[in-house]
Amino acid sequence: MDSISQICDTSIDETLAALEQKIPRSPDDEQVQKDASEKVTRLRRWLEENCFDSVLITRRDNFAWLTVGGSSHVLRNTEFGAGNLLITPDHQYVLGYSMDVDRILEEEVPGQGYAGRSIHWYQGDPRMQALELGGKRIAADTALPGMEDCALSISRMHGGLTVLELNRLRWLAHKSALLLEAIAQWLRPRMTERNVGQMLLAVYALNGIELDVIIVGSDERLAKFRHAVPSDKQIERCVMFHPAARRWGLHANVNRFVSFGKPDLRFEKAHNAAVTIEAHVLGEMKAGNRFADILNKQKQWYAQYGYPEEWKLHFQGGTTGYLVGDASLCLTDARIENNTAFDWFITVNGIQVEELTILTPQGVEVASMGNKWQTIPVETAGGFISVPKMRIME
């Protein structure tokens, strides 16, 4: 417990304090309600444009987006919540079982204009109330009888993050970077990967942050597995650790690599290539640029640095926010937009680099930079961009 307390104590700085002044603490804050109203307006415009009578929101990520940080879950191991939102042109409902609706109305969506509609546990699926309240043509974010599955269209409405959402993401990314800096100092050879994973869970939880993904891989497991979930293997020379952190429904995915002593030349070469490619990708982040064009340039950079096939072996990244990541955009004609968060996955021969980045009209922010982790400046089409180095611990 002492180690956990020490790590938590080192993860506070002026940047976080300044951001916290901009982030409301209550779900009935005027800023939250204003943003939530704008989301409902956006959905209603979409209903009209697509000739739907209503839309049912069942997924936890979409619930968080629509309510600007609200949580609908009781079970933690499912993507669906205990509260469902039905939006019509004139009404907003929370649909659920009798044991859930009142709490959600009071604690998750106060002041947002929702009315509760509940049934008892023995009366069936509460989502089916949408068939009575939602009109003839109902859209939903999952496949349900009598409704049209519009999951992809709804998730793509998450773009265009508000000022509040951007500040929450900046806080989450910077907090994550500070926690990872502190955890790196705690690492020692002969710890197991599972030890590191448990520390990540504990430290983030004590800071009010949940982890949707935990990757901890070391030594030969790095080269063997792209998704090295923690095992009982002892760390020998190097370790890579990656938490996908979530708070307010928003995600910050950050990756760090530590070598004990002089790094293996294979990993050092791969890491240098990965961070250089990452910086070049960030240099291409401009509103209007196509994701597909960036992917084509990634293929060229992988080849240029000696790894022509690596782009095939892992998702190459895309947007993030309420979704952990949408890596499918690089296979579409979609274009980059301002006020959007990004998570690019650059993987080379077992090395992965990953930062939470934000594009605003003022340019690219690498929001997941900490205070002490050394960086490498890389000259890109967008100017010099600094990205984290491999940390070498003697």
Per-residue pLDDT band at 338 (split at 50, 70, 90): very high
The reported pTM is: 0.95
Residue 96 has pLDDT above 90, yes or no: yes
The sign of the dihedral angle between the CA atoms of 119, 124, 127, 133 is negative
What is the rounded (10 degree) CA torsion for 383, 386, 389, 394? 130
Domain boundaries, the chain: 30-158, 163-393
Residue 87 has pLDDT above 70, yes or no: yes
Q: For a pLDDT cut of 70, what percent of the chain falls above it?
A: 99
Residue 339 has pLDDT above 80, yes or no: yes
Q: Which residue has the tokens 């760390």?
A: 235
Residues 163-393, CATH architecture: Alpha-Beta Complex (3.90)
Give the three-state DSSP class for 62: helix
Residues 30-158, CATH architecture: 3-Layer(aba) Sandwich (3.40)
Q: Where are the alpha helices (DSSP H) in 258-391?
A: 265-283, 291-304
Give residue-wise pLDDT tens across range 214-237: 999 999 998 899 899 999 999 999
Q: At what angle do helices 193-206 and 2-9 cross, to 10 degrees?
A: 60
Give residue-wise pLDDT tens across range 184-203: 999 999 999 999 999 999 99
Give pLDDT, residue 223.
85
Q: How many CB atoms lie within 10 A of CB 225?
A: 13
Give the DSSP per-residue string, 176-242.
HHHHHHHHHHH--TT-BHHHHHHHHHHHHHHTT-EEEEEEEEETHHHHH-SS----SPBP-SEEEEE
Q: Whole-number mean pLDDT of the chain? A: 95
Dist. CA 54–CA 136, nearest whole Å: 9
Give residue-wise pLDDT tens across range 298-319: 999 999 999 999 999 999 989 9
What average pLDDT does range 142-152 have in this prediction? 97
Per-residue pLDDT band at 101 (split at 50, 70, 90): very high
Give residue-wise pLDDT tens across range 9-40: 766 789 999 999 999 989 999 999 999 999 99
Give pLDDT, residue 6.
74
Give the side-chain half-sphere CA count within 13 A for 331. 7
Give pLDDT, residue 375.
94
Q: How many CB atoms lie within 10 A of CB 165?
A: 22
| Among the ranges given (134-138, 166-170, 322-326), the one the predictor scored with the smallest mean pLDDT | 322-326
Q: Which residue has the tokens 């929450």?
A: 168
Per-residue pLDDT band at 82 (split at 50, 70, 90): very high
What is the distance in angstroms between the CA of the first residue and the CA of the last residue of the chain?
A: 25
What average pLDDT does range 239-245 have in this prediction? 96
Give pLDDT, residue 362.
95
Q: How many CB atoms lie within 10 A of CB 341?
A: 28
Query: Phi/psi at 249 (nearest 5 deg)?
Result: 80, -5
Give the three-state DSSP class for 371: coil
Residue 41 has pLDDT above 70, yes or no: yes
Residue 282 has pLDDT above 60, yes or no: yes
Residue 287 has pLDDT above 90, yes or no: yes
